[in-house]
Amino acid sequence: MQRAQADGAYEMWKEVLRRADVQWIHDEVKASGLRGRGGANFPTAIKWESLPDNGLPRHLVINGDEGEPSTFKDRVLLEGDPHALVEGVCIEAYRIGSHRAFIYLRGEFALGADRVQQAINEARAAGFVGTNILGSGFDLEIVVHRGAGAYICGEESALIESLEGKRGMPRIKPPLPIHVGLYSQPTVVNNVETVCTITHILKMGGAEYAKLGVNRSTGTRLAAISGHVKQPGVYELEFGMTLRDIIFGIAGGIRDDKQLKFFLPGGASFQWLINSDEHLDQVYDIDDISAKLGTTLGSGAIMVYDQDTDPLLVAWRLAKFYAHESCGKCTPCREGSGWIEKVLYRMSHGLGRPNDMDALLDISAGISPDVMKAPFTQTTICPLGPSPVSAVASLQKWFRAEVEAACGTEAQA
Ligand SMILES: Cc1cc2nc3c(=O)[nH]c(=O)nc-3n(C[C@H](O)[C@H](O)[C@H](O)COP(=O)(O)O)c2cc1C
């Protein structure tokens, strides 16, 4: 606590209480252009504007589920700077008028949970959390809740179900959680990094923050870079860099000086890119990469694979994860993810059949009718269903010939 405070922790929270000006917080965050860092990229201030004024209590829920393969940036904040999260929670709760905030952490984050709980205890002892905070009349309780390790509980409505003590399955939307959320009351769900960023925006000023980045992708974000790079890790990136700068500059290039084969610029759930000038010169910009290359930046994971990697094995391993994590509430995901996994298993283990790639596309169309299009269309309740379809579409787009060679189409023809 002392070290965090020496670094300025809770100074902005004190300033917020001193100013007692909710509109100021709102205006600065809106001017900053901050978009949620949990993967859906929704503008944070616009979410706040959607809160109904219906007299019901409002809840703030912090999403620290972080269950997606290769996404590990929130963990760094939870374990390394828990007071930054607690301060961000205080400020956001104040903005939306919530007196009870929940920090939902994936079950495996034992260390993070301990550190965040300790930070809350220390903040309470110092008077930054609790009743009548610093004499302001504002009350706030923060509850840490550990999930049981289901990926679907990162989806905001499934998370809310889980918080309510039910089995984590997504709700059918509408209504959105902002209108009917936790305990059927208005609820703002935000990612850990989003919440931590709010304090910095108030310190810098929203307009100043918006000068960082590019277009509607303002500011910086934490990126978790993994795979066959020389320097994997979590990096704070400014939007607007090229993917080449990120992979070959920041992450040091491909280990053992091998060639890059392909990479997943938005992590496990979204379409892949390959070693081409067009893809490497693409700017790290949420909307631009989607418009030009049909993929997105997700929750900030970048997975990199070298020349020796079998894309079928990668696709199968990802599909296995999604099939395992499908909650089973809707049929296309429950059945389709399992079928995709089974077909990819045989394709990646030398048992592929000549029409397997077409079978994959056919199964995928039951989940995402326009399979090759991204952002994907979906027949499922939530976007978990289309996630393995991204791998299928990527195989079709970039590796069809390699897949056919592996599965014997040419031999049979
Ligand atoms: C299957 C699935 C898993 C998700 N997992 C997470 C997660 O672990 N953390 C997160 O912040 N958002 C996750 N999301 C996105 C949330 O539903 C939601 O958009 C986000 O928490 C909102 O916060 P933000 O606006 O700050 O990004 C997930 C979505 C889906 C469909």
Q: Best of 105, 188, 191 to mutate for ligand 1, by most ligand atoms within 8 A of CB?
A: 191
Q: Please report, as a single letter, which amino acid is at residue 173.
A: K
Ligand 1, residue 384: give the atom nearest the CA: 1
Side chain identity at 250, as an amino acid letter? I
Cβ neighbours for 405, distance < 8 A, ≥ 6 positions apart: none
Calculate how far, in angstroms, residue 348's C-alpha sits from the geometric centre of ligand 1. 30
- What does the H/E/C string look like for 31-99? HHCCECCCCCCCEHHHHHHCCCCCCCCEEEEEEECCCCCCCCHHHHHHHHCHHHHHHHHHHHHHHHCEE
Residue of minimum CA distance from atom 8 in ligand 1: 66
Cα 376 from Cα 384, distance rounded (Å):
11
Per-residue pLDDT of the chain (413 residues), as tens digits, is 899 999 999 999 999 999 999 999 999 999 999 999 999 999 999 999 999 999 999 999 999 999 999 999 999 999 999 999 999 999 999 999 999 999 999 999 999 999 999 999 999 999 999 999 999 999 999 999 999 999 999 999 999 999 999 999 999 999 999 999 999 999 999 999 999 999 999 999 999 999 999 999 999 999 999 999 999 999 999 999 999 999 999 999 999 999 999 999 999 999 999 999 999 999 999 999 999 999 999 999 999 999 999 999 999 999 999 999 999 999 999 999 999 999 999 999 999 999 999 999 999 999 999 888 766 789 999 999 999 999 999 999 999 999 999 998 654 44
Is the C-beta atom of 190 inside 6 A of ligand 1?
yes
Could you give the CA distance from residue 47 to residue 42 in angstroms, rounded to a whole number? 7
Pocket perturbation via mutation, ligand 1, pick of 156, 157, 159, 187 by most ligand atoms within 8 A of CB:
156
Which tokens belong to 339? 């079928």
Nearest to 382 by CA among 338, 322, 342: 322
Q: Ligand 1 centroid to 122 CA: how many Å? A: 28
Residue 99: other Cβ atoms inside 10 A: 15
Report the chain's terminal Cα–Cα distance, integer Å: 69
Q: Which residues contact 8 (CB under 8 A, 6 or more apart)?
A: none
Cα 250 to middle of ligand 1, angstroms: 26
CA 85 – CA 29 distance, rounded (Å): 16
Task: Give me ligand 1 centre to Cα 75, in Å.
Answer: 14
Distance CA 208, CA 191 (A): 22
Q: Which domains does the chain have, with CATH numbers?
A: 2-210 (3.40.50.11540), 213-306 (3.10.20.600), 311-412 (1.20.1440.230)
Ligand 1 pocket, 76 CB below 6 A?
Answer: no
